[in-house]
Amino acid sequence: MTLPRSEISAGDASVVFDAVSKRFAASGGNAAFTALNNVSLTVARGSITGIIGRSGAGKSTLIRLVNGLEKPSGGKVFVDGVDVGELDEAGLRDLRRSVGMIFQHFNLLSSRTVFGNVALPLEIAGMDRRAIERRVRPLLDLVGLADKHGRYPAELSGGQKQRIGIARALATEPKLLLSDEATSALDPETTQSILELLRRINAELGLTVLLITHEMEVVKAVTSDVAVIDKGEIVERGHTFDVFTHSKHETTRALLSGLAGSKLPEAVGRGLKPAAAIGDRAVVRLTFFGAAAERPLISQLIQSVGAEVNIIAGTIDEIGGKPYGSLVVAYGADAETSGKAERFFSENGLVTEVLGYVA
């Protein structure tokens, strides 16, 4: 996804944002503002691509440009080589049949059964009842809800409602699936089941998935590529593993700090100071991957520095099948200990970030 456009041929690109800006005029007492500023991004065909950022960063505006719900103020958006901004109403209808969308709050019709909700876009398209039956039944089976076809949304759990939303989005056999914070309203266990379903859909149907989220856990679990957006600009991009292990922008590092095992205990966070005094300890986040993730790094670090090292937080996980770990440790901030620690980190290929100092 997030490779430079020159590295992805036109035939391999599902979505291209080419120097896209979006400005909203002042209205209703709200001041004019720029939601997106000169965004260039390429989404590879068949990928699961994440766009992550804080609330108000411009994520939802970006995704609404893909299906023509918004038009760019500058630049162009291409879907399968088609300039979305140049389409008339008929062209937009055709585009939206090839672009499915799932939402945070499901958007199901309470008066329709599960079957009826999934069938709705096919009915609107004028498909006959027998053809609708042939299309909807396999989709309900795919999302694991064939036995719920006659139920109504009020009878379903949040996870089941989202599965119905996914089946409905797939009804028109789209080439691209847009997910706008689709797991934000779900509990962690249900979120994992929905992400696993998206992985299956991507693998079995070859569907490109463009996923908008503010949750790094979601990005880590399912995406192959990621772009980080902040204040309407793409500030970092790349393969997910590379961005997690070699993050360069402060926004990315801030988002990563919220992951399990990376977040500082509140008592430690409150006591952090930007500069060290005599006797203080440095608090450092270590990121390690590959073979380093399977080695006894802390015991080796203690031997190297010849001093006590405290583990404050940590986790070992996988990103894209590759081992990845994050540890927050504390050790003496004196020049000798810090120098030995820095040499150890460099020799072992560890990515480090000094978070501050504590007494």
Which pLDDT belongs to residue 32? 85
> In 3-state terms, what secondary structure has residue 132?
helix
Which pLDDT belongs to residue 7? 40
293 burial (CB, 10 Å; 0-12 / 13-18 / 19+) is middle
* Measured distance CA(110)–CA(11) in Å, rounded: 41
Mean predicted confidence (pLDDT) in 192-210:
92
Which pLDDT belongs to residue 106? 86
Q: Where are the domains of the chain?
A: 5-250, 257-358
Residue 10's pLDDT band (cuts 50, 70, 90)? very low
Question: How far, in whole angstroms, is CA 151 from its chain's centroid?
Answer: 32
Domain 5-250 coded CATH 3.40.50.300: yes
Higher-pLDDT residue of 315 and 77 is: 77
Question: pLDDT tens across 101-126, in order?
Answer: 998 888 899 999 999 999 999 999 89
Residues 6 or more apart whose CB falls under 8 angstroms from that of 133 comprise none
Residue 6's pLDDT band (cuts 50, 70, 90)? very low
Q: What pTM was estimated for this model as a whole?
A: 0.82
| Numbers of helices and strands, H then E, in the chain | 12, 14
E strand intervals along the chain: 13-24, 33-44, 48-52, 74-79, 82-83, 99-103, 176-180, 208-213, 225-230, 233-239, 281-289, 310-319, 322-332, 351-358
CATH class of 257-358: alpha beta
Mean predicted confidence (pLDDT) in 57-79:
94
Residue 309 has pLDDT above 60, yes or no: yes
Percent of the residues in the chain that have a pLDDT greater than 90, as a whole number = 62
Type of residue numbered 334: D
Mean predicted confidence (pLDDT) in 265-276:
87
Residue 293's pLDDT band (cuts 50, 70, 90)? low
- Look at the alpha carbons of 97, 99, 100, 105 in this order and tell me if their dihedral is positive or negative: negative
Question: pLDDT tens across 226-263, in order?
Answer: 999 999 999 999 999 899 888 889 999 888 877 766 67
Residue 2 has pLDDT above 80, yes or no: no
Domains 5-250 and 257-358 share a fold: no
* Measured distance CA(178)–CA(101) in Å, rounded: 5
